[in-house]
Structure 1
Amino acid sequence: MGKSISRKGFLTSTTFLGMSSILPQIPIMEQNTVVEANPDLILDPDDGEVYIIGKRQARVTIKVDKRHKGIETMSLLTEDIKPNDGIPVHKHSSEEELIFIEKGTGILTFGDEQYEVTSGSMALVPRTVWHGLQNKSNEMLRMVFGYTPSGFEDYFRAIGVKPGEPWKELTSEDWQQINNKFGVVYRD
């Protein structure tokens, strides 16, 4: 008879259709673990920490992160992308990213391909995969996105300013240092 393995052991040691390299490592709770309901984790639409990013004045809202909500395994943010604006093509060295288009339409670069996205579209972006998003419409595009593990949300704190604060011009050396710190590379 073969060696016996627990359900937790099985789930943490197997792969699903060979996708273990792109799926985040999700901790599995023991069956008797008690988790307290935390009302701070219920957010209203305007809740979150807002940053204005770059000369393009993109509005990024950090909704869930390890700094304020104590969530280590994931973060959740929103970004409003103005018409004819977008997120340059880039890749992350340490995080998977989940992108959900809440409203609007755009063009998602994923690897070397481009895809039309509309409200309800979603993409799971494994670490090291090139991706970017362009709003080619006349309407605002709202992207809901998150990272696992959490931590990359600090990038937006480093490059953005709070609403009403003057924009801080970053030098190319500043950008290089911040990008290196957070493991992000932009495609030329």
Structure 2
Amino acid sequence: MSIAIETKTNGYTAKPVQDMIQKFEKVAERLFPCCTVKHFYYGDTLDMADIVLRPGEYAHFNISADHVSLCGYTCSSEELLKFESMTYKDELYDGKLLELAAQGDEHMNRYFYTFGSDERFPFQGGWVEVQAENIHEAHEIFNSHYPERVPGSNCLNCSNYYSEQVFNSSDMSKTGNLGSFCHRVLTAQKGA
């Protein structure tokens, strides 16, 4: 799992909620790679969970065996849409948590495109994650969003790129790259 999980111990196990918590964590990992999910069990029937993207950017959820509600957030509008999709039977949001958790993505590989301090890069520091079947498809997806600086140069508009295995062996997912973390996740648009 590429996300950090923290559970504050207080004597409760929230055993009746664990199935929903596993689905929640699976979707959090897909939508927000490298985030931190913090759990606090309020008795055995409620998990008060936070998804922390980076300092000052998070969402708070209440998770029970048959509901997942979004209770508060501080994030961009793009991230809010993803947080809203993680709800289930919420009175305010039409989430798709169970559908998202059921989606299989075993065939997708993850690649990470990092950026240096050059102001001509799309971002300074941090990275963009691309989910694709192989590195060639990942490069095409990345180039479609961040074209080469010099057309036809066959030079990606980033400092470097890494497979998931190499990226995870570094400390970037925990400490960042030049003070920044994941800017966005790109995927192939199948059937489009």
The TM-score bracket by the shorter chain reads under 0.3
Whose strand fraction is larger, Structure 1's or Structure 2's? 1
TM (norm. structure 2) is 0.21
TM (norm. structure 1) is 0.21
